[in-house]
Structure 1
Amino acid sequence: MKLGIVGATGMVGRVMIDQLENLNFPSDELYLSASEKSIGKEFFFRKKKYTILSINELLSKSLHIVLFSAGSDVSKQWAPKFAEMGVTVIDNSSAWRMDPNKKLIVPEINGFCLKKTDKIIANPNCSTIQLVMILYPLHLEYCIDRVVVSTYQSITGTGQKALNQFNKEKEGFSYYEDEYEKIYPYPIFQNVLPHCDSFLDNGYTIEEIKLMKETKKIMNDKKISITATSARVPVIGGHSESVNITFKKEPDINRIYEILSKTKGVIVQDSPKENIYPMPFFSHGKDEVFVGRIRKDYSCINSLNLWIVADNLRKGAATNTIQIAELLIEKKYV
């Protein structure tokens, strides 16, 4: 099995490499690629030295699978070239997510729909993945009518430059007086920005639109009403979501607990009297999605509130990508 990673030096790419190091992933040969400034740099993987290649060099390696995490522009330019050569591409950018001819996959939910002919497979947005991991099993039982979600998203979702800005401000640098690279329009340290990605003419951000559209595609139900508000918070360990769900059937809280407790990849943390609930502090470095604060919404019929947390670099990106690759290998599609 020949595996390639495009964007190997980025935050998600590095997590992919770390996870592959600890998994029994059947890769005989690994090839790493990144931006031009990283070409020639060296990495160690399973006690072997690897050199960062150009993406054009990667194209000549007769790969079986290539994992992309280098942004939409790179994916749009290069993913089709790999696919034309018979290589299966799993892309972590937004380039192909809403393409009607491409699958948008969370293995636990819709991995069954993959086929050997799928050569470009989209990995969903980080905040979408953790949301649908909770919504989908509940939808099967009670049929979701409407979702209202507010996200509190880690600075790591913006990338290394955001983390650099946070660290500078934490060290005491003044956003308005000192010269350093700023990725956000305001300070992020000790602040919350109701602003994830760019604003559109309708007042929503691109991140909010992703949440709304991707959720419907993954769950294969366009009738679900969903609205979202996304905020950037000075947190490193993961994304948090406050979610209000209205069902078409009356939900039973005990049954909700039972369903989520039995859902693969989900951990229920819900004992408020003992101060047990999901937090990025505990999700950091873990692959599961954590859910808690599960309670009835007494203001609306057939409704409940809950709180979801997951490490956005792991299940929200690298883990889900690798799980798709593992599923393809299991099905003998590569």
Structure 2
Amino acid sequence: MSRGSERATHRARSWARRYALQALYQWQSTGQDVGLIEEQFVDDAELHRLFDQWLHTVSGLADAAQLVACFRESVAAERAEYLLRQLRAATERAAQAPFARGELGSDALQALLQREVMAQAASSDPALVAAVVREAVGKHFLRRLVREFESRGAMQGDLAYAQRLLQVDGLNPASAPADSERLQATVDEVVIADRAMLKADADYFRELMHQVPARLDAFSELLRPFLGRPLEQIDPIEKAILWIATYELSARADMPYRVIINEAIELAKRFGAEQSHRFVNGALDRVARVLRQQQAGEG
């Protein structure tokens, strides 16, 4: 793995720890099912991803709209509208294909749809096809956003606004800045907290959310001698930090123990009470020592 890839992996795991900490705190505070809390955080990432893909698509709408306008000026009106309707219908058919319902990004989806439409309408101008397809890709991500808004209880005014955008023939580049601002506000309202989960290693977040609650009894026994007070009296934030780090120290041999402890210290400094990082550092240093002795004995 290159140094750049290592840094990217480290950053993504740092974000995963941060959100696992918030999720485990929520789990302790509310008693909600840990699986539901996990999905709530991951759903936040999906909502942001859909919005970002829509925003990326509409950023190129001005050029697409200009090309469609030029086409309309260069061809008789009835003929132009007929051809545009045909292209849009072909694009809509292509957009119903299984590949279009997956997790493709805006650029990849546009490239696939363009190939599909050109195969159906080989005589069409490729640039015009690209413009029409860009409109359709924007609608594709907007439609998925609206479904997310509907299922997650967006405010009625915001939901109606997004639904009206879907009814517009094409997408108006002139209104894109205002539309994006309104949709961003809706995303922020729908998401419980703007966690930007896209920065996190989602697989590692899921690993922490599955493995940490499953091993709490073992972690408690391992930590108890080094806490100086009953585990029940430990602040929930500090407790979650200790659980995450203890899991990593015991199960992730690919991570240097000093890195794990430093990550826990940083979480405690940011989210814990004053001086909690000293408590976390002291407890985890002793846990790491015990685990290294156990591993040496097994070796």
TM-score range normalised by the length of the shorter chain: under 0.3
Q: Which has the larger radius of gyration?
A: 2
Higher strand share: 1
Scaled by the length of structure 1, the TM-score of the pair is: 0.23
Higher RCO by CA contacts (8 Å cutoff, separation 6 or greater): 2
